[in-house]
Structure 1
Amino acid sequence: MLFFKKPKITLAELIPDNYVDIHSHLLPGIDDGATDENHSLLLVNRLRELGFSQFITTPHVLPGVYNNTTEDIKDKEKLIASFYKDQGVLNPFSAAAEYLMDNVFLDRLATDPLLTLKDNHVLVEMSYINPPLQLKEIIFEIQMQGYKPVLAHPERYLFYHKAFDEYQKLKKAGCLFQLNLLSVTGYYGKAVLEIAKKLLDKNLIDFTGSDTHHERHIEFYKQSVRLKETEMIAFKNALQKNALFKLK
């Protein structure tokens, strides 16, 4: 008797039509993402072939490394919109930011309006080395200012991998979670994959994002998704929830 293995599903096959990406680095020359306008256009066209329709692109605001201000980001957004218009391409962008939560961010939060994904949702991240000492205070202040914190790629913070209850605490504190799409292929390694699976299994993931910086990220969409049935259901649900951020 012959037994046939169930064909593996690639990440590209799971991207829904008109997918809204809420985490990318497609504004050119502003962080470690797209290097120039043509590179930005190349990345966008490649992603559109996969089903992406709109991009809320989120350059880093990382003091000492990428000292981007709201004005810097909005100016770059205008320039790229003009470039896309000249190319005869409908501009698919809205610019927000990916804010590093630290002391500087607390000061910014108290004095300047933040760039949001849509409405009051703001994308935040932590250092990959350790969480900020004042994390609870920051999350509280974000909400006191009327924002909803969306934590970028929680599965990539290795310091929480052996302290999974910290994820539960963050959720209870009001954090929403955005999973990186490539995490379910093993792109970031086995440890990140296993935590991504567990977060999905526990229904802790709210949204997804590509976190695209370069072509190598896009190439990995050809890889198989390494999820069990229940994890796959949660992943598909999270993909669909990104419709909340659809641009006008």
Structure 2
Amino acid sequence: MPPFIDTHGHYAWQIDDGMPSIIEAKQALALARSQHIEAIIATPHLLPGIDGPEVLKKDLARIAELKNLARTYHIDIYPGSEIMLHSANIGQSLIPMADSHYLLCEFDVRKGIQPHEHHFEDWLYEVILLGYTPIIAHAERYFHQGIDCDRIAACIQMGCYVQVNSTSFLYKHVPVFQKNAYTLLEHNLVHLIASDTHRATAPRCPNLADCWQKLVQHYPAKELEKLFYANPLAIIQDRTLQPTTLARPSRLKQWFFFLRRST
């Protein structure tokens, strides 16, 4: 099993809805190490236009504490943030991922795509105008009625990249999210798989090795490695991310394979 880099996680404690305490942060780091995670980009939530310099200062200080703590577990920590796009006013109070030109961006998952119907691409483009490359966080979770691959492809064409949560592959708590995740993956519209860790216990915990073990049964390890390690490393090194060329066997081919194995 290869090493992993977690590009989206709320491991820093008591600064957002992530880890409630340093004790749970330690537990999450220990679990991350057992899941073959060797580096983490800490991405606390930020609300552009509302969270100012004092919030950034507090977040960066806590991320620095997390970095020191993670050395015990032989995990490297890089600064970042997850910005909530809610208007065209992005502002300057931002923490890019690992001091790169990449910025992790999210929309309100609870509301889905509908309220942002006329702003989804516009607000992402505002990020591009500031000189950043948007990473769309957990893209599978905004489409409550089923994924719109054409729309995601258009965002990629515009200059964005796509991150999907490992939990969406592992759990069926919201079946449409799992279906969306697999659809994006099989259409080569995913660039990163990350944990979006909030706790040290399932489901929102470090689980990249678990996700890898599930996906590698159906997809080439060489292509999956782009999503779990090569592209995350490219963010840290501020390089271009690479697309995958995944193609899961069709149901018809799988059925013929089953028949051949049965005879």
TM over 0.5: yes
1:130 and 2:112 equivalent?
A: yes
Name 1:58's counterpart in structure 2.
43
- Structure 2 SS opposite 1:238: helix
The 8 Å contact of residues 28 and 206 in structure 2, kept in 1 or not, is answered as no
Q: Provide closer, same or farther for how the CA distance between residues 162 and 176 of structure 1 changes in structure 2, counting only shifts above 3 A.
A: closer
The 8 Å contact of residues 184 and 227 in structure 1, kept in 2 or not, is answered as no
Quick one: which of 201, 220, 229 aligns to 2:218? 229
Between 1 and 2, higher relative CO (CA 8 Å, sep ≥ 6) is seen in 1
CA–CA distance in structure 1, aligned partners of residues 58 and 154 of structure 2: 34
Q: Provide closer, same or farther for how the CA distance between residues 66 and 27 of structure 1 changes in structure 2, counting only shifts above 3 A.
A: farther
User: Number of matched residues?
Assistant: 226
TM-score (norm 2): 0.74
List runs of 5+ in structure 2 lacking aligned partners. 238-263
1:178 and 2:144 equivalent?
A: no
* Structure 1 position 160, deviation (Å): 6.1
The 8 Å contact of residues 200 and 235 in structure 1, kept in 2 or not, is answered as no
The 8 Å contact of residues 184 and 196 in structure 1, kept in 2 or not, is answered as yes
Q: Provide closer, same or farther for how the CA distance between residues 184 and 82 of structure 1 changes in structure 2, counting only shifts above 3 A.
A: closer
Q: Provide closer, same or farther for how the CA distance between residues 82 and 48 of structure 1 changes in structure 2, counting only shifts above 3 A.
A: closer
CA–CA distance in structure 1, aligned partners of residues 169 and 221 of structure 2: 9
TM-score (norm 1): 0.78
The 8 Å contact of residues 197 and 206 in structure 2, kept in 1 or not, is answered as no
Q: Pairwise mapping of residues 41-120 of structure 1 onto structure 2 (< 5 A)?
A: 41-62=26-47, 69-81=55-67, 83=69, 88=72, 92-103=76-87, 106-109=88-91, 112-118=92-98, 119-120=100-101
* Structure 1 position 27, deviation (Å): 0.5
- Structure 2 SS opposite 1:53: strand
The 8 Å contact of residues 27 and 40 in structure 1, kept in 2 or not, is answered as yes
Deviation sequence 1:150-176 (CA, Å, 0-9, x none): 001111113462533222222222220
Identity %: 19
CA–CA distance in structure 1, aligned partners of residues 38 and 194 of structure 2: 13
Q: Provide closer, same or farther for how the CA distance between residues 228 and 84 of structure 1 changes in structure 2, counting only shifts above 3 A.
A: closer
Name 1:121's counterpart in structure 2.
102
List runs of 5+ in structure 1 lacking aligned partners. 1-13
Name 1:211's counterpart in structure 2.
196
The 8 Å contact of residues 10 and 198 in structure 2, kept in 1 or not, is answered as yes
- Structure 2 SS opposite 1:93: strand
- Structure 2 SS opposite 1:225: helix
